[in-house]
């Protein structure tokens, strides 16, 4: 057994002993200003074989990353989903010497890559390694080049608790406006209409942090906009369309990055460039905590966002991401509402 293999096995054993997730705030007195941060452990532990394979994969990813960044260029780094890469692009899209490293969630790799290719920036997309010691290794290697930039909302030390403890630092650091309306333009036909974009769900449906609407809730939102005379485009995947299959109306369309589907299931293929033009053309945006609301806020457009529920209860700040992605001090065009209040009171549209 050579030294490299031994290191990987030791790394796998260490990962089995302790695999960390992003931090969350523990329950606390609402009147208290003391913010307590804790780590949570995974409920189940992967096998040694799986961890060894993962360690090998991570090692290969880091090697590819270092080969990609080379000896020149300004390095920008992020981990996560489409919302994370969109925020990073807001910071670096004008830097012609940018080299972007995106460690992407599995469901965000292709979609995120579409955005990167649209901007024509040098980039590499790799499997997300956040939560492992390799993530810190990757950051340290990039720092050692002397070319790693601040990278928007990426937390210092990869500690998401820092978003809570030092929120003001990220408020100042994040680029919160862009020229993307002028850069990519509009869809001429849609821009002339009373037209809204609606994202009822994030990529993951879980009740611990509920970033999706139930079908009856999404249907109620659509009806409110239709009653106000809006044309509605729902942004989502084919799987999302099946989940919200009760929503059918001649003025409701499903939009994904490569197609538009009408209420009769007729499909119109589109390019990613046209997809972005459609994104830019809405009068109003309505979304759960998804990448769409980040994109629309970067345009400075009016955006209604439904607050996250945690096991069916509202608790803003129970996840540190709330302090970044739902923060009015960063996103002045964002209005955060509870879904029940939005449906009940006719004051938001």
In this prediction the pTM is 0.84
* pLDDT for position 59: 81
Give the per-residue pLDDT at 7: 59
Q: Residue 203 burial by CB count (10 A; 0-12/13-18/19+): exposed, middle or buried?
A: buried
Those residues whose C-beta lies under 8 Å from the C-beta of residue 213, and which sit 6 or more positions away, are: 200, 201, 221, 288, 306, 339
Distance from C-alpha of 330 to C-alpha of 309, rounded to nearest angstrom: 21
Provide the β-strand partners of residue 121.
Answer: none
Q: How many Cβ atoms from other residues are within 10 Å of residue 59's Cβ?
A: 17
Residues whose CB falls within 8 Å of the CB of residue 190, separated by 6 or more in sequence, listed in order: 231, 278, 281, 282
pLDDT, residue 18, reads: 43
Which pLDDT value is given to residue 346?
80
Residues in the chain: 349
Contact 126, 58 (CB under 8 A): no
Euclidean distance between CA atoms 159 and 320, whole angstroms: 10
Token pair for 82: 């489409």
Reading across the β-sheet that carries 252-256, which strands appear in turn?
Answer: 267-269, 259-261, 252-256, 231-235, 195-199, 284-287, 303-306, 334-337
Q: Are 100 and 69 in contact (CB under 8 A)?
A: no
Domains of the chain listed by start with CATH number: 3-175 (no CATH), 181-344 (3.40.50.2000)
Residue-by-residue DSSP string for 155-198: PGGG-THHHHHTHHHHHHHS----SHHHHH---TTGGGS-EEEE
Bridge partners, residue 186, by sequence: none
Residue-level pLDDT at 44: 46
Instruction: Extract the residue ranges of the chain whose pLDDT is less than 50.
Output: 16-44
Question: Residue 30: CB partners within 8 Å, gap ≥ 6?
Answer: none
Place of tokens 């293999």: 5
- What is the pLDDT at residue 348? 86
């Amino acid at each position: 057994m050579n030294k490299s293999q031994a290191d990987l096995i030791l790394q796998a054993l260490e990962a089995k002993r302790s695999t960390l997730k992003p931090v969350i705030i523990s329950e606390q007195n609402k009147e208290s200003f003391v913010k307590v941060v804790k780590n949570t452990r995974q409920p189940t532990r992967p096998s040694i074989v799986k961890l060894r394979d993962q360690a090998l994969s991570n090692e290969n990813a880091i090697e590819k990353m270092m080969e990609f960044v080379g000896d020149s260029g300004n390095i920008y780094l992020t981990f996560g989903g489409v919302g994370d890469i969109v925020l990073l692009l807001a910071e670096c899209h004008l830097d012609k010497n940018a080299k972007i490293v995106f460690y992407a969630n599995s469901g965000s790799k292709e979609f995120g890559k579409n955005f990167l290719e649209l901007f024509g920036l040098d980039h590499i997309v790799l499997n997300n390694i956040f939560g492992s010691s390799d993530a810190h290794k990757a950051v340290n290697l990039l720092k050692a080049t002397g070319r790693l930039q601040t990278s928007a909302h990426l937390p210092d030390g990869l500690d998401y608790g820092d978003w809570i403890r030092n929120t003001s630092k990220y408020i100042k650091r994040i680029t919160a406006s862009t020229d993307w309306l002028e850069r990519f333009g509009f869809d001429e036909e849609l821009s002339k209409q009373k037209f809204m974009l609606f994202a009822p769900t994030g990529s993951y449906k879980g009740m611990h942090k509920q970033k999706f609407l139930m079908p009856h809730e999404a249907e109620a939102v659509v009806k409110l906009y239709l009653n106000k005379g809006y044309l509605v485009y729902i942004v989502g995947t084919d799987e999302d369309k099946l989940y919200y299959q009760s929503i059918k109306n001649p003025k409701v369309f499903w939009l994904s990055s490569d197609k538009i589907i009408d209420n009769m299931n007729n499909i119109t293929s589109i390019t990613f460039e046209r997809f972005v033009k459609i994104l830019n053309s809405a009068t109003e945006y309505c979304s759960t905590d998804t990448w769409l609301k980040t994109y629309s806020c970067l345009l400075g457009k009016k955006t209604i966002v439904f607050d996250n529920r945690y096991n069916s209860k509202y608790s803003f700040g129970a996840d540190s991401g709330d302090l970044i992605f739902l923060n009015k001090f960063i996103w002045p065009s964002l209005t955060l509402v509870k879904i029940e209040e939005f449906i009940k009171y006719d004051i938001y549209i």
